[in-house]
Copies of this chain bind each other. A is one copy, B any other.
């Protein structure tokens, strides 16, 4: 390892103390212009670059936030991640990525007291395997922002869209098109499936509001929100004696998987079966047909998450947990209204 230029060497060359160099480099305090110039010259001459590690050790922080997601190759997360990285970088923070595969032990570890210290100053976390209680057990000294649907117990922030309202809106869209046998793919009737349950609730509420009966047997549970599960559920639905004429999918990936099966069976979307998704990932806009969906404001979710976690990091005293809502909108495409009729709605 090549010996690096240190602060001390710069100080020596400039004929000042290392304290002064530190001040100059960080733009701190009051340094007279001539001193500043002298130091800067020495910095240039030696090609000095601050050692981030040393700085962080001295400051007791790592300058990094961790972003923890279950799966990186889920388009929704990678799209979100882009915004998070951008926002964090703007504040001088680096982003460490972790992928848990939904493993509860791994997830627990990351937010527990037992995690390795100073690797990251805060966490933006999209939990999959942890339920309410496990989340509440997190190290209270760790600034934590949760994405998706987990109600805060007051020790961390939570940001997400209004899942019930959004799902209601998607379902009402299908009902308003005259569909009456609606299926829902993605329910998760167990403690870690909160997000899914909220969507199911919205699904039911829409039926109530329109005075239509929910067909319970058409509400299909799936362990994940991916294409494979969507395809499997769709196959099951089509094998039913009385299959649905519309499907509300709890993610766009599920919708794409479902549409894949519909195409394979020779059924037309939306003529035979209308399909609506959730997340507004780019794939959905380019699928055949393009898929209607609920579009959460990802840019806002990303920037707000970063903003909040940095706020918590900066705060000396633990901040009370906050519930933050990002806006969403219904995006109508061909998978529900057919060619030519597709447009956008609020």
Interface residues of A (CB under 8 A from B): 1-2, 4, 47, 49-54, 56-57, 60, 62, 64, 71-73, 75, 78-79, 81-82, 85-86, 94-99, 113-119, 141, 227, 231, 256-257, 259-260, 263, 282-283, 286-290
Contact = CB atoms under 8 A, between A and B. Distances in A.
A216 to B, nearest CB: 28
Contacts of A227: 282, 286
Given A54-B57, A288-B259, A82 B72 contact: yes
Contacts of A231: 286
Nearest to A316: B1
A6 to B, nearest CB: 10
13 contacts: A49-B113, A52-B62, A52-B116, A52-B119, A53-B57, A53-B62, A54-B57, A73-B78, A75-B78, A96-B97, A227-B282, A260-B287, A260-B290
B57 A57 contact: yes
Contact of A94 (B2, B119, B282): B119
Contact of A49 (B53, B79, B116): B116
B286 A256 contact: yes
A288 B288 contact: yes
A85 B72 contact: yes
A118 B85 contact: no
Contact of A78 (B57, B78, B94, B95): B78
A290 B231 CA distance: 14
Contacts of A260: 286-288, 290
B82 A78 contact: no
A260 B56 CA distance: 49
A282 B82 contact: no
B75 A73 contact: yes
Contacts of A64: 96
A16 B220 CA distance: 61
Nearest to A113: B47
Contacts of A52: 62, 116-119
